[in-house]
Structure 1
């Protein structure tokens, strides 16, 4: 059994793996060049979701007049619902939260006796890792190298007007007009947040809708919500160039149209941090996109070398990175191993409302020829939602018409990422719709709609058709 483990990268894949390995008695060295927590904590998940949480608070405050809450001075509804956003203060809070989270991880590493080394590392061989100042021999190595924002040569970020999502947190003022290039998860989340915070937002989408890889109904709803909030969504278009004019930006589209704004956010994907890491020399294979090839237990092509997180291109989620890291340690140290099951991954898009999903999509079920039925209920009919003034969103469950097994689900609504858990549990544990329907829910609760949607799939007989409402 391996006793010396070197982990390169201190993000979720790295620090979660380190804790697992130490609890199994291994000697662990974790090498990180930027700070513990990796991109997830320092420049991506924690800061971006904090901005989004701030924006969400504003939508909640704006609902106050409809719930009967009035300003003491008798201000009318419009005046009462207006709030000024101090972007410098928002970003200052983000900086504090990032440092606190990174410090908490450092505390966990120290408590578990993980040796943390600051610096960049590269493989000299599958069993030897080098930093600027030292070399470390290992029985096994975990690569948790992460990824960075993809950029375009004609839209090169400058950190002032043309930005990646890692550079937004240096802004001192709210962008007057933010042009977002890219309508995937990152682009949609930031576009939605800054629109709510008060920026004029133009979102450039290569497809007809934003978030086209999501459930079609969910994607359509978010597209409608964005339009209702005043966002300008330009579909079927791409940015060919972006220029900092000194006091703003000019973004040229593929058809020659020029859009003027104050700032431009490039959200066109990520590229893995696999260059200059000694991977080729160590025999670690990369795919055509530069991601490290791994199997379901996180093994690379090099014996004793494993990989986890965004550098593998498996699924760009912190939760997946952490799971990959834990699986790697279990396999290395001879513990029971449950290979990564991509079919049970739960994901969330932090727009307002959120889109949470788990399991198979309806398109996948159709392509596989699986007999299924859909139960869909609007959240607006839920009593708890009515009390909270929530009138958007739905719960959708896909059930197998023969076994009754929950095959997948989608929730669109406030805190959807919190409410997807029982359906995530159902998919991962192969539970049936009756298992969900028979479990107690609190009344009133938003989760009550999940149980009601499941009850409507009892005794399914008509495949590929939703039950009548």
Structure 2
């Protein structure tokens, strides 16, 4: 029997543990903060629960054209919202722990580190130390919010995304520093909850790493809803002044608000784990270097999830963990293929993507056609009052094979699965177009886009 030791109980760790246990391996998993890791306790599950409330309020606020008459003063009780957020996170964490136990995984609450080869030292909260001699080790320790000395969070007015769930009232004016995925999601959420929001972006537009059409759509929506977006505005410092915060920009301008949310990126949790001492190579940012089957540079040591910096998504972490276990246990292995990954940004509207982007297509010099239709032309979208968003498909020129796509709209995270299946199964636009869709439905636009004749643009 193979003994696998796993450090970290987030998606990369617990999914790997379940795979290994079901294959008959002996599995020990060590987790410091709680089962599910930051994904469940402080990041993905809490933020998307908060966003769910924000989305309801946004839909209600924009439902007048559907003939809905609203009483004045419709608002969210943030104390109740955040209580629900934290309760759901704890419930999900408990569910993960129960699944691990039910599958025969030995679970330890504490900190783990490599001490020699594939031996893990686990230290529990009461100081008990145990040496776990394993045949293989998976490191899945995640990451934490990046902070800088000039903008130190205090947990009350200056906050990281892990600290916002202690708020009991809607911020009067939330300043969000950082216009990447996390910053855009929280800016959208707090605007929907009723706060005044200023988004500080160091780049010329929000979501600079995303599809340009999608990013432009989101920024237009933000501005239309009354959000202030400060482009090309790098944060110099954040300071608390009594019950207010002052954000100073690099050009000397200042922005004052009631709260500031810092969305400055993530730092991998790789310090003090005995990694480099045991031959595990890290990059300059502290991320563990892995190959496509999750191997590190040290024999028998694997890594998965945000601590690798490969693609910081819970779904990718879980896949890396599963791949690692398949490789360790001698099962059929399908190396990680990032060109098949689907992802979603939970702004309102959402942005979902899969496969190759326009940027990747241009960089690779791939002969490809692009077709795009706005959702506003869709019958179901008109019925629901949807006016923002689109479906875009990239197809290989000649064969018509779908290589990527972008969906912007409500519940884009659900709609992208149609395109994801096409990319994964190497379907052609003809095959996508011929599949039946319900009328009326938003998914009908996917088929309509696939029917567009792009021959005139070749």
Tell me the residue number matched to 1:441. 437
1:119 aligns with 2:145: no
**TM-score, L = length of structure 1:** 0.95
Give the match's secondary structure for 2:455: coil
1:191, CA displacement in angstroms? 0.5
Q: Deviations over 1:164-208 (max 9, x none)?
A: 000000111111111111000000000011011111111100111
1:87 partnered with 2:78: yes
Aligned to 2:188: 192
Contact 2:50–2:189 under 8 Å retained in 1: yes
- 8 A Cα contact 1:16 1:322, kept in partner: yes
Please show how residues 336-375 of structure 1 align to structure 2 within 5 Å: 336-375=332-371
Would the aligned equivalents of 1:401 and 1:461 in 2 still touch at CA under 8 Å? no
Residues 371 and 463, structure 1, Cα contact 8 Å, conserved in 2? no
CA contact (8 A) 1:401 1:462 kept: no
Q: Hey, what does 1:301 align to over in structure 2? A: 297
**2:57–2:75: 8 Å Cα contact kept in structure 1?**
no
Any idea what SS the aligned residue of 2:247 has?
strand
1:416 maps onto 2:379 in alignment: no
| 2:455 is aligned with 1:461 | yes
Tell me, in whole angstroms, the C-alpha distance in 1 between the residues paired with 2:236 and 2:429.
48
Which residue of the partner structure matches residue 57 of structure 2? 58
CA offset digits 1:34-79 (Å, max 9, x no partner): 00000100000000011111110011212333212335xxx6xxx3
Instruction: Show the counterpart of 2:101.
Output: 110
TM-score between the two structures when normalised by the length of structure 2 = 0.97
Report the equivalent of 1:382: 378
| 2:126 corresponding residue in structure 1 | none
Structure-1 residue corresponding to 2:234: 238
Instruction: Provide the residue aligned with 1:271 in structure 2.
Output: 267
Deviations 1:359-416 (A, max 9, x none): 1111221222211111111111111111111111000001111111101100000000
User: 5+ residue gaps in structure 1?
Assistant: 465-469
Runs of 5+ unmatched residues, structure 2:
124-128
1:34-183 equivalence runs, <5 A: 34-70=33-69, 79=72, 82-132=73-123, 133-183=129-179
* Cα deviation, residue 428, structure 1: 1.6
Distance 1:105 1:84 in 2: 33
Q: Is residue 221 from structure 1 mapped to residue 212 from structure 2 by the alignment?
A: no
Aligned-residue CA RMSD (Å): 1.1
Aligned length: 453
Runs of 4 or more off by more than 6 Å in structure 1?
none
Matches within 5 A, 1:257-336: 257-336=253-332
Residue 462 of structure 1: CA displacement?
4.6
Give the corresponding residue for 1:3: 2
Per-residue deviation, 1:463: 5.3
Contact kept, 8 Å, 2:270 with 2:307, in 1: the verdict is yes
CA positional deviation for 1:327:
0.3
Q: Tell me the equivalent position of 1:256.
A: 252
